[in-house]
């Protein structure tokens, strides 16, 4: 074999080996693709939480209030008749014993006169019957009359005595009827409404005036059902009125309604003002702050108020998503809820000052996911203020 042939064969072998090496390399590349690029962090709406101040954490309750009389009376005549005179008007102050209205009393006067005449006649019949029975008893003692005649005299005397008693009662009733034609104030107070006019014919018990008693006044508020557990009789309160700027009054819870109002589903709470004075007038409006029960010693865990949208769950327990630094990964942390409100929740355990909590989309994230916190349109301070305002 010539040298030229040998050299050509060797060149072909080398070319074949080179092609094989290239193919093997390409096969290795095809079997081991390059790793994919890392997924970008998922954006979530989150906010940094801060513990409530001691005043906010106490849970004081704030409600609008109105001044009302402790006792009110519907003033009405006890008998029917036509009103011929009204002596007081709306807002007038009346005193016990004052006559505030009168009915036409002509018929009552005549009835009283008739009852008086009947009483006089009964008195005369009783005197005659007493004289007759005394005479018959003396004659019977001397056997001058029959026994049955004495019995008849005694029977007539008993009937005359009962007739006199009946006439006396009828005279008293007629006198009361005449007196009932005058509407008399039984307490000191102020007229709060007028319900009948002069010349109007009224029935017994029909309202003519409403009167609020003088003296102690109540401050009333309508409490929500979820606040009843924080309100108790004797609880102190600070009351302020719009008409008396700069003044504060001390009050105490006097009465809590046992049933909710059928319309508003709230419970009426009445406060007694201590040393209210004459400057506090009926109908004034203001605000009351009811102090919560005193907290224990120092070291009470910090309290946080978070929006209700931040709540998730771990099993049956409430939890929130926390963004852990520096990796910005999610951690599902169980929390203890002290109370729920319509749009917020009060957390007493599980959160720390400065934690970043996911507010929205808590059902779309998972443990350990890398996220990028997106601040809400409002600031952390505005969020905290709104949450406290909506807390129970």
Question: For the ranges 35-44, 142-151, 263-272, which has the lowest average pLDDT?
Answer: 35-44
Report the topology of domain 106-180.
Answer: Helix Hairpins (1.10.287)
Residue 233 has pLDDT above 50, yes or no: yes
CA distances to 33, 81, 112 from 38, in Å: 15, 95, 108
Check for a shared fold between 45-57+301-390 and 106-180: no
Is the distance from CB of 132 to CB of 138 less than 8 angstroms?
no
Closest CA to 244 of 280, 282, 217: 280
Indicate the pTM of the whole model.
Answer: 0.57
* Phi, psi angles (nearest 5°) of residue 240: -125, 155
**What average pLDDT score do residues 257-279 get?**
89
**Kind and range of the H or E run holding 245:** strand 244-256
**What average pLDDT score do residues 12-34 get?**
52
Considering only residues 295 and 2, tell me which one the structure prediction assigns the higher pLDDT.
2
Distance, in Å, from the CA atom of 25 to the CA atom of 182, rounded to the nearest integer, reads 121
pLDDT in tens, 235-266: 999 999 999 998 999 999 999 999 999 999 99
pLDDT of residue 275: 78
Domain ranges, ordered by start, for the chain: 1-34, 45-57+301-390, 61-70+215-290, 79-96+186-212, 106-180
Question: What's the CATH number for 45-57+301-390?
Answer: 2.40.420.20
Question: What's the CATH number for 61-70+215-290?
Answer: 2.40.30.170
**Kind and range of the H or E run holding 322:** strand 317-324
Closest CA to 345 of 370, 329, 366, 362: 362
pLDDT of residue 297: 38
Residue 317 has pLDDT above 60, yes or no: yes
pLDDT of residue 335: 93
Question: For the ranges 29-33, 162-166, 223-227, 333-337, which has the lowest average pLDDT?
Answer: 29-33
Closest CA to 206 of 72, 71, 69, 81: 81
- Share the mean pLDDT of the chain: 84
Distance, in Å, from the CA atom of 98 to the CA atom of 87, rounded to the nearest integer, reads 9
pLDDT of residue 77: 96
3-state secondary structure string across 271-304: EEECCCCCCCCCCCEEEEEECCCCCCCCCCCCCE
**Structure confidence at residue 295 as a pLDDT band (50, 70, 90):** very low
- Counted residue by residue, the chain has a size of 392
pLDDT in tens, 330-384: 999 999 988 887 788 889 888 998 899 999 888 888 888 888 888 876 554 445 4
Encoded tokens for 271: 């406060």
pLDDT in tens, 75-134: 999 999 999 999 999 989 999 999 999 999 999 999 999 999 999 999 999 999 999 999
């Amino acid at each position: 074999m010539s040298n030229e042939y040998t050299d050509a064969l060797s060149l072909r072998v080398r070319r074949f080996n080179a092609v094989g090496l290239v193919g093997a390399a390409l096969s290795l590349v095809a079997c081991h693709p390059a790793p994919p690029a890392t997924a970008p962090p998922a954006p979530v709406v989150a906010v940094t939480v801060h513990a409530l101040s001691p005043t906010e954490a106490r849970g004081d309750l704030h409600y609008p209030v109105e001044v009302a009389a402790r006792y009110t009376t519907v003033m009405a005549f006890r008998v029917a008749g036509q009103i011929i005179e009204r002596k007081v008007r709306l807002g007038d102050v009346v005193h016990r014993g004052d006559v505030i209205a009168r009915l036409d009393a002509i018929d009552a006067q005549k009835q009283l006169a008739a009852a008086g005449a009947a009483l006089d006649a009964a008195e005369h019949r009783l005197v005659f019957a007493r004289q007759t029975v005394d005479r018959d008893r003396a004659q019977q003692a001397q056997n001058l009359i029959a026994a049955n005649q004495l019995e008849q005299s005694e029977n007539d005397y008993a009937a005359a005595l009962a007739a006199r008693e009946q006439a006396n009662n009828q005279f008293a009733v007629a006198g009361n009827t005449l007196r009932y034609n005058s509407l008399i104030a039984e307490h000191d107070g102020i007229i709060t409404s007028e319900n009948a006019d002069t010349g109007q014919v009224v029935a017994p018990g029909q309202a003519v005036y409403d009167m609020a008693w003088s003296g102690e006044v109540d401050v009333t508020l309508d409490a929500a059902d979820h606040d009843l557990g924080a309100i108790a009789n004797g609880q102190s309160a600070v009351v302020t009125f719009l008409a008396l700027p700069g003044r504060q009054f001390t009050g105490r819870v006097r009465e809590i309604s046992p049933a909710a109002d059928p319309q508003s589903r709230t419970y009426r709470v009445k406060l007694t003002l201590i040393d209210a004075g004459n400057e506090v007038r009926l109908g004034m409006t203001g605000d009351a702050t009811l102090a919560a029960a005193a907290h224990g010693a120092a070291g009470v865990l910090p309290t946080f108020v978070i929006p209700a949208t931040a709540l998730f769950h771990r099993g049956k327990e409430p939890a929130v998503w926390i963004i852990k630094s520096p990796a910005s990964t999610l951690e599902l942390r169980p929390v203890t809820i002290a109370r729920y409100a319509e749009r917020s929740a009060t957390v007493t355990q599980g959160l720390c000052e400065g934690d970043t909590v996911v507010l929205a989309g808590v059902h779309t994230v998972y443990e350990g996911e890398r996220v990028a916190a997106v601040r809400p349109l409002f600031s952390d301070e505005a969020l905290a203020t709104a949450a406290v305002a909506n807390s129970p």
